[in-house]
Structure 1
């Protein structure tokens, strides 16, 4: 009997599925790595391993596949994480580590070639052709990348709210939305500027800023022109990311498919202008077959297929 465990480590949530339970388990997501990225990456999955240790049968090996948003680089760091996992759970026969862009791609296209853009808290786009050659665009983190992500849009919305308070911008519904988000929902004080300064020191600041993307989209759908402009810019940025990725690979005509995953595409307020801005006549946008966790499950299977060269594999003793 072959057993597997699939873990999707995102910035907001960790999700787990196994071959011996039907339930999807969730846990808090991965924060920015500390001074030791290996310890941080391992620390994100260690509580999950401990929670499932009691349900594993000692003489039945488990293949563990992990899609992780915070894997260390280069390969030595990946191998160090894999060794820590094997030491923690000797019943694991093999560890397969993949960047979350790879698991998103595998899940959205069921292991087939094409381009997948994932826009949630962050943004990354991965293209893979039928020979397994890959190209990645963005996914470099919130400091300089993640264009069109929830963090990017949330930050833009908060900036507009501050500029309104400073009389640099015209009135917008985003000002009151930001006050509700920071002062009421997060209870960060009674002043917008002071609450934003406090936000900068919180360990989960990326997630909290990204959460403001939803009020920005809601304001755009309600007719606020400032919010609509910000959502339109996010859509244009995501379209540019996909175009850049598509230009870096040369798939066969039948493999020129694009799938979109992540919470940013859940609203037509962004999805429709994204499609309009895409401008790739010889490509087709297809519905995503599955989630990032579905992709991790697929890559825990007998063969990772096109994605085999995009992961790090370490067998147990």
Structure 2
């Protein structure tokens, strides 16, 4: 047997490991959405990093509370996956070596159901809603050891007609699944193609850092995007199309608000076929020195929790879904959206 044969066998075994983990995670997550016992899905000392106001949690009781709140709000809740992929996380020099090589499953989709009970102070509509959720799960011995969940509660506020901030510059609405319907990859794994796609994405990330502080043309990242790519931003920013839309509705406002933004590292770096996922907790840091989302500069240094789901075709990024914990950024800037909701619903603060 040649050295190449050994490598092919190793690659096949590694891909088989990820396929098995994807199927395990798929079963666990769909069972949780249907009300399964947390103990059957999570290790006893598991960690959950969820978007604001849930934040960092550990152990069965704390994690159960998050899932119970979702199930109570949407008692007929269904999980609708649009992307379901995975891989061994690639190294990031900015992060602890222990994060490298973890089996991570990444998903993008919605929890859909009838919104019959308030969720985090967001008033129930008694109608159907779709709650965006982008997730990363670390699978160890057929259970979840770590979860990262970006639940777009600001978009739920939009659906409940209690929008609390300035109108989005991009288009708001449901995120579309990947073009061609290729996002659910339970029975397939292509780590070799994923590595090539991952390298393209990292080269694009590096090109973003070439900004000279004056002209957007100094950034050379445009070469990595398809001509009419779709950038699906979180509620508060919205969806854009093509480089002109991306610049106008997201990039220029973001650079105006946070001109000193810096990458902070990724806990997930995976590639599978034409899909790549990265994410950090935080992923980006910056100082709020210019207007952003309609809010004047606060001078606050903030951490930004971000995930990126990329879909590439012919070596170009044609779709990018970008959950960002907008509510946590606003909270750091001194704007507690949930306190504002309580005030608007008749429960204002009555003391400093």
Structure showing greater relative contact order (alpha-carbon pairs closer than 8 Å, 6 or more residues apart): 1
Query: What range describes the TM-score normalised by the shorter chain of this pair?
Result: under 0.3
Higher helix share: 1
TM-score by length of structure 2 reads 0.24
Higher strand share: 2
TM-score by length of structure 1 reads 0.25
